[in-house]
Amino acid sequence: MRIAVYCSSSLAIDPKYIDLAHSLGAGIAARSWELVSGGGHVSAMGAVSRGARETGGKTIGVIPQRLVDIEFADKECDELHIVDSMRNRKAMIENLSDAFIALPGGIGTLEELFEIWVGRFLKFHNKPVIILDPYDLYAPLATLIDHLEEHGFVKPGQRELLHWAKSVDQALDIATNNSTNNSRNNSTNNSRNTSLKKSKIIPSANPKSRSKSPEDLKKGTKKKALRIRQGLRICQY
């Protein structure tokens, strides 16, 4: 099972949120699951990946080239997918993942959360969407959602598709209990994969990694190559 985590890259946040991200990454790995993240190495985004790797888990990052250019990328990821836009980044994270957990974050985290929540309601996917908020940072957001629902702007059934958790274990249990066997292969948003299929794989310089030959790639094994577990794979789109 793969869990996408939406979280902050801000350097100004309270260290407790960094610790929370690290604990979530460790919790994902402890269940032998894989982490999908935005591919950054700073703040909560870096901490969640470190937590997973330090617990023996696999990490998959998806990051736009522009952020790679400013040395934002987490090059310790087992797989690092480099895309050309934020939109393709979100689409790939959605397609790679079986559930989504939002940690406390800013406008980027909120934008990702709302898009994946709306996609769930519109049945572009049927994967669980979870907010992990032990410190009640999002309490005003919950109040706003209630207010919007009272005035008819949040439709019946929408609020129930957004799950709230107070602990790492609770969030991961929700992901387990609300996930389906659809996962990545049977997602109804396969049409969004079109722009992501053309890829070039740049092997890691790590001598322990095993690269696919150009002949293999020509035989249609690009997608399979992305899943190689040994060493970093940097994939450009």
Q: Are 54 and 26 in contact (CB under 8 A)?
A: yes
Statement: residue 186 has pLDDT above 50: no
Phi, psi (rounded to 5 degrees) for 84 = -100, -5
Instruction: Compute CA distances 171 → 27, 33, 134, 162, whole Å.
Output: 10, 14, 10, 12
Res 61: pLDDT: 97
Contacts of 126 (CB under 8 A, 6+ apart): 120, 180, 182, 187, 188
Measured at the CA of 101, the angle between CA 100 and CA 106, to 5 degrees, comes to 115
What's the rounded mean pLDDT across residues 33-38?
Answer: 98
Q: What is the pLDDT of residues 49-103, one digit of tens each?
A: 999 999 999 999 999 999 999 989 999 999 999 999 999 999 999 999 999 999 9
% of the chain surpassing 70 pLDDT: 76
Res 29: pLDDT: 98
Res 178: pLDDT: 87
The tokens of 146 are what?
A: 């209630």
CB atoms within 10 A of CB 234: 20
What's the rounded mean pLDDT across residues 101-106?
Answer: 98
- Domains plus CATH for the chain? 2-191 (3.40.50.450), 197-231+233-237 (no CATH)
- pTM for the structure as a whole: 0.80
Q: Sign (positive/negative) of CA torsion 179, 228, 47, 195?
A: negative
The tokens of 6 are what?
A: 């939406």
Distance separating alpha carbons of residues 58 and 192, to the nearest angstrom: 25
